[in-house]
Amino acid sequence: MTSRCAIIFPKKGGGSMNINRHIIIDCDPGTDDALALYVASLHIRESVLAVLSSYGNSTLTNTHANLLGLGGLLSLECEYLRGAAAPLGKDSFIPTDYHGENGLCGIVLPPPTHIEEHTNGIARAAELLSTAGPITWIALGPLTNLASLLNQHPDAIYNIEEIIIMGGGLAFGNVPSGAEYNFSLDPHAVDAVFACPVQKTLVPLDLTHTLAFSEAEVEQITGAAASELRWETLLPRDVFGEIFFRNLSSAQKNGHDGAIIHDAATLCYLLCPEACTARQKRLTCDALGRIAESENGYPVNVVTTMKKSAMAMLLKE
C-alpha cells in the first residue's frame, strides 16, 4: 500500500485533520458527492483549496448550482470553479436519473452570496496548481476536467502529487455496457488520466458496493430517523441527513440493500489509510469505459478493502 501522510484525528466534537496537503475536489453533485463534501467540511476544510464542478449526475447547470448551494451551506471557504459541460469531443450527454432530475433527489438549496466563483474552471485550476505546490486531486465524477487540464496545461501535471478517483469496476459495472457510470461518460478522458505520470489511486465499484449502509445504520450515523429531518430548515445536520436517506431510497429502488455513497470512500482512503488495503494493478480502459487488468496497462493503485466503520466515523459530526 502506498505510504501516506500522518493523520491527526480530531478531538471529540469535531475539528480538522492535519493531512499536510492541498486538495482540489472535482465533482458532479450528486447525493454521494454531497456526502463526500460533507466529510471534507467536517475533517479537512482548511486543506480544500478549490471545488470544481462537472456534468455527470445531472447537467452542469444543476451540478454547479448544487455545488454552490452545498458549499454555502457548509461554509467551505475555498474557490468554486465551473468545469466541463460535456465529455471530450461531444456537445451533450444523457444524465442518470439515479439522483433525480436535479442531482440531489429534489433537494434545492438557495444560492450563496459569499462565494468566489470562476467560470473558466480549468484555467483557474492550472493557476492554482502553479502556485499552491503539490496538490491531491480528488475526482468524483467524469474525468473530463482532469483530462482537459492535462491537454491544455500539460505542465500542471508536475504539481499534482496524487489523483484519487472514484470510478470504474473490474468485476462489474452499473450501466448496460458493463462499464461504471463515471467512466462510461468519457472513456477518452479515462485513458488520458491513466496515461499521465502521476500516482493514481482508484476507488472502484468493486469496493464501494461492499460499503452499503442499511436504514438502521443511516439512522445511527445521522442521529435521526428520516421522518425527524426537516431539510427546509437549512441546518446542515438535517440537509445532509435527508440527502443520506434519499440516497438510501434511490439505492433500494435500484435493487441495492443499502445506501452506497461511492464518493465519500475516496475521503476515507485519504483520511484513514490504515482502514484500507490496496494493490497496484495495470489497467486499460476501452471505448465504452470498461476497465480491465492487462500487462500493457497503466499502473494504478486500486483500493480493494475498506472498513465500513471508518467511513461511518467520518460521516458523524
Per-residue pLDDT tens over the stretch 269-278:
999 999 999 9
Q: Is 92 exposed, middle or buried (0-12, 13-18, 19+ CB in 10 A)?
A: exposed
Per-residue pLDDT tens over the stretch 89-107:
888 788 878 877 898 988 9
Q: Indicate which residues carry an active-site annotation.
A: 262
Q: pLDDT band at 204, cuts 50/70/90?
A: very high
Evaluated on CA atoms 264, 184, 189, 170, the torsion sign reads: positive
In this prediction, residue 237 carries a pLDDT of: 86
Per-residue pLDDT tens over the stretch 282-312:
999 999 999 999 999 999 999 999 999 999 9
Domains and CATH numbers, the chain: 22-315 (3.90.245.10)
- Quote the mean pLDDT of the chain: 91
d(CA 156, CA 177): 33
| Three-class DSSP category at 168 | coil
Evaluate whether 193 touches 147 at the Cβ level (below 8 Å).
yes
How confident is the model over 198-224, as a mean pLDDT?
97
Q: Is the pLDDT assigned to residue 56 strictly greater than 70? A: yes
Say what percent of the chain tops pLDDT 70.
94
Distances (CA, A) of 101 to 104, 107, 194, 217, 274: 8, 10, 31, 27, 37
How confident is the model over 73-77, as a mean pLDDT?
94
Per-residue pLDDT tens over the stretch 157-200:
999 999 999 999 999 999 999 999 999 999 999 999 999 999 99
In this prediction, residue 228 carries a pLDDT of: 87
**Would residue 151 be called left, alpha or beta, if left means φ above 0 and alpha means ψ between -120 and 50 degrees?**
alpha
Q: Is the pLDDT assigned to residue 119 strictly greater than 60? A: yes
How confident is the model over 45-60, as a mean pLDDT?
97
The lowest-confidence range among 59-63, 195-199, 249-253, 304-308 is 249-253
How confident is the model over 134-153, as a mean pLDDT?
98
d(CA 24, CA 140): 11
